[in-house]
Amino acid sequence: MWLEWQRQLRGSLKRFQEKSFPLYEATARFRVYESDVIPGILQTAEYCTEILKIASRFYVTETDVDEAVEARMERQRYLYRGDRRFVFVIEARTLTTIFGSSDTMLGQLDRLLAVMTLPRVSLGIIPPYALRSLWPGEGFWIFDDRLVKIETTTAGIRVTQPREIATFEKAFSILQGHAVYGPEARELLRVAMLELQHL
């Protein structure tokens, strides 16, 4: 299913954020790959505000950014509630792609360090010089084994065809293998934070 952003965002940014609540409620296992931005459910309010301001300007939507940020922050409750499992893989460039300011980014990276300590969260970071056996592509979210969501510049795509879902699962498994975890991931975050402090 191909859903154009211009149509999806016609109501408000807040309503668009709230639409995902039932899906999150019904999902036990999230597998998330992001190549360019920090996943929404891990964002700080400041980082999220900058991302949604960009979306509001680019898609010329109603400017209910503050309410939309509140809705996205509310969605973070799923990290702490129930037995849901979250597996995140992000590219190292997401750590140094600046939205807002270096202070905004420092707060965001500190948030990632905190999230890594959660018992049902795995966060892997693909180092910049990783030997690749799969290209970095578009970000995607796998909800259990029944839905994949992808965001492009013009639209959001919902994939429900089992064969296609299996392809995304295969891609995610390969990308997981490229990532580092634990102390190595924390070291990448530490280095990125040091670089941001010197901007």
Asked, for residue 92, whether it belongs to a domain, the answer is yes
Asked, for residue 143, whether it belongs to a domain, the answer is yes
* pLDDT surpasses 80 at 16: no
What CATH number did the domain enclosing 127 receive?
A: 3.30.870.10
pLDDT in tens, 49-61: 999 999 888 887 7
> Mean pLDDT throughout 14-23?
84
Domain tally, the chain: 1
- Residue predicted with more confidence, 23 or 12: 23
pTM, two decimal places? 0.94
CA dist 155 and 142 (Å) reads 17
Asked, for residue 15, whether it belongs to a domain, the answer is no
Structure tokens at 164: 């296609």
Q: 115 Cβ partners below 8 Å, 6+ apart?
A: 42, 79, 121, 123
Domain around 36: 2-8+26-40+83-197
Asked, for residue 129, whether it belongs to a domain, the answer is yes
Structure tokens at 196: 């941001």
Give the pLDDT score at 60: 78
Asked, for residue 78, whether it belongs to a domain, the answer is no
What percentage of the chain reaches a pLDDT higher than 90? Answer: 79
Asked, for residue 141, whether it belongs to a domain, the answer is yes
Considering the chain, what is the average pLDDT of its residues?
93
Distance between start and end Cα atoms, the chain? 42
Asked, for residue 188, whether it belongs to a domain, the answer is yes
The interaxial angle of helices 102-115 and 182-197, nearest 10 deg, is 170
Asked, for residue 19, whether it belongs to a domain, the answer is no
